[in-house]
């Protein structure tokens, strides 16, 4: 069970890497677009995160305030991705505040995951 949990955590991290990596590629290339890969990363991180939110394969208590906060941040990122891609379809570009918030909130969720105990 513990090994399975570690595998789900690994999948969760792949989702995070895909979301943040896809965002970083756009930022570095100064394209500031929302891409499909960001949605896939969010979906993978979200599904694996929900699986990890249940207390299985561990001998310690989970911090549900922390997990709830991460869920809220994930929902906010999802909303921004949705609004951003709608704007992109209509105007051809994503408002900078939306684009930068996606990256900052993704980094924030990783920071919450590793710093908040």
Give the C-alpha separation, 101 to 108, whole Å. 10
Contact (CB, 8 A) for 20 and 110:
yes
Q: With binding defined as CB under 6 A, does residue 49 bind ligand HEM? A: yes
Determine the residue with CB nearest ligand HEM: 49
Stretch that binds ligand HEM, among 22-30, 66-74, 78-86, 90-98 (CB under 6 A): 66-74
Contact (CB, 8 A) for 46 and 62:
no
- Residues near ligand HEM (CB under 6 A) are 5, 9, 12-13, 16, 19, 45-46, 49-50, 52-53, 58, 67, 70-71, 74, 77, 106, 109-110, 113-114
């Amino acid at each position: 069970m513990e090994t399975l949990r570690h595998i789900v955590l690994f999948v969760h991290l792949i989702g995070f890497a895909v979301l943040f990596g896809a965002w970083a590629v756009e930022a570095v290339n100064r394209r500031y677009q929302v891409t499909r890969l960001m949605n896939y990363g969010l979906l993978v991180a979200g599904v694996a995160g929900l699986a990890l939110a249940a207390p299985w394969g561990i001998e310690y208590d989970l911090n549900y305030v922390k997990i709830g906060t991460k869920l809220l941040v994930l929902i906010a990122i999802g909303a921004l991705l949705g609004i951003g891609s709608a704007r992109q379809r209509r105007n051809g570009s994503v408002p900078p505040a939306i684009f930068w918030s996606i990256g900052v909130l993704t980094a924030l969720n990783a920071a919450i995951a590793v710093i908040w105990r």
